[in-house]
Amino acid sequence: MNLQVKIDRIKNNLDAQAYTVAAGEAVKIIEIAFRKLLVDGLALLSDKDRLKVMQAIIEIGKGEKGVESFGLGQMLAVLRKSKFNDAWEAATSSDLSAIKMINLDALNEIRIKLTHDAAEASKFEAEFLFHALEGVIQAFGIMSLEKQEPVANKVPTPAEIEQKKVLKEVKQADRVKNTYDVVDRKEKRRLAVQKNLTRPQDIKALQELVSNLDGKNILDIGCNNGDYIIDRLSAVGDIDAVANLIGVDIDDQIIREANEKHARENFSFIKLDSESNDFLDDLLDLMEDKNVEGFDLITVPMLLLHLKKPYKLLRVLRKVLNAGGSIFIRDMDDRLAMAHPDENNIVERMLEISSAVEFTGFRENGRQIYSLLKKSGFNDIKIHPESINTIGRSHDDREALFHINFDYVLGDLRLATEKYPDSAEWAGAYEWMLDAYEELEELFQRDDFFYQMGTIVYSAKK
């Protein structure tokens, strides 16, 4: 309980004429206040005065006891012996005249009477102790010394602690192998909307990296059904002028779809696992096949967060990039997400759960990419600043922004409940999420609600 709450409680007891209770509590808090002063307050004194106080503590405790086990009488003796008040005034430029007027011996006598003799406190004694307490707290600024104590409403409940523990157990403390379900129809729709919302920023960055597509060799990793890369390149230049566009994705079905949708002589969509040990050899074979010596541009949109070893992939990609060629990476970092107002902490909790669910990818990946690129030998590393947010968006765009940012959490959390059917925590989180999801959807339509997506774009050169 914090000090102010305890003081208020004494006031209530005085009002209720419960003088002995009020006096007893006041004595206890005066003891706590002096102990704090002699422990935390010591740091504020000059070296010389601090030493004096420590010597007094040793003498009064006979070298056997420390302040933690001193009673009020002993602490008062330390203060007196070390001339603590004068030291405090010198160190903090404060005026302790009010506290000097309090008869601390009388205070100690009442304490002995109450605690040792189990006597009743009079109204006068209780009020004297209360005012002495207020004087001590004010004079020494005990409230500010107290700030390290946890505030009552910040202390998590046992249930919250338990839930965090369980979520942590199954949390991907590190990265897990990708479990991304690419053919899920909801995910397909989400990706299509995401592709539209991230379009202006992507194009701006890509235009800085390549001025035209003539004769260029381009590689897209995690290409999905090919829509994304075809759309982006078409905005940058004449896509027919590309020498080769190669897209790779781990998923059979999605690669089939890409080849059906975008069949052209200079486009190839190939099934490859970019995390496999054979990836470089597979890629080199493919390049030999297509007569590609190296790539001018490699794009890695929304893939790294799903990989267990992104560094391994970046090293391979640097090997197949032409000197002067560029890599473009779009990824996620949920810590870049911002929401306001979020009175019920819905967004905060959703993001917390999202990062704990093992199917959502590594949600704080964005911040790692600079180091990964650097370690892999890339140069000219840049972040392309952007904010994809709700400001100035239409009703439909706000809805889209909501869906691309939160649909996957609900779906992935459902998967967690299926994988851990005995876990009350995942079930509880899912139940909470169902309600919160609707509430958040409405929040996204409020004019004064602001949301910024936690996404980030990097580029680098070889």
Ligand X SMILES: C[S@@+](CC[C@H](N)C(=O)[O-])C[C@H]1O[C@@H](n2cnc3c(N)ncnc32)[C@H](O)[C@@H]1O
Which residues contribute to the site for ligand X (CB under 6 A)?
178, 180, 182, 191, 195, 222, 224, 228, 248-251, 254, 273-275, 301-303, 306
CB closer to ligand X out of 317 and 346: 317
137 token code pair: 């707290």
Residue nearest to ligand X (CB): 222
CB closer to ligand X out of 206 and 248: 248
Cα separation, 75 vs 60, whole angstroms: 9
Give me the least distance between CB of 329 and ligand X, in Å please: 11
Give me the least distance between CB of 453 and ligand X, in Å please: 14
173 token code pair: 């403390």
CB closer to ligand X out of 84 and 180: 180
Give me the least distance between CB of 150 and ligand X, in Å please: 40
* Contact criterion met (CB below 8 Å) for 152 and 48: no
CB closer to ligand X out of 13 and 455: 455
The pair phi, psi for residue 246, each rounded to 5°, is -115, 125
Within 13 A of 14's CA, how many CA atoms are on the CB side? 18
For residue 13, give the nearest of 131, 130, 142 by alpha carbon: 130
For residue 49, give the nearest of 91, 96, 92 by alpha carbon: 91
What does the longest C-alpha to C-alpha distance in the chain come to? 100
Give me the least distance between CB of 360 and ligand X, in Å please: 11
Give me the least distance between CB of 274 and ligand X, in Å please: 4
Give me the least distance between CB of 288 and ligand X, in Å please: 20
CB closer to ligand X out of 306 and 398: 306
The pair phi, psi for residue 307, each rounded to 5°, is -100, 150
Cα separation, 186 vs 408, whole angstroms: 8
CB closer to ligand X out of 287 and 443: 287
Give me the least distance between CB of 226 and ligand X, in Å please: 9
What three-state secondary structure class fits 457?
A: strand
CB closer to ligand X out of 313 and 321: 313
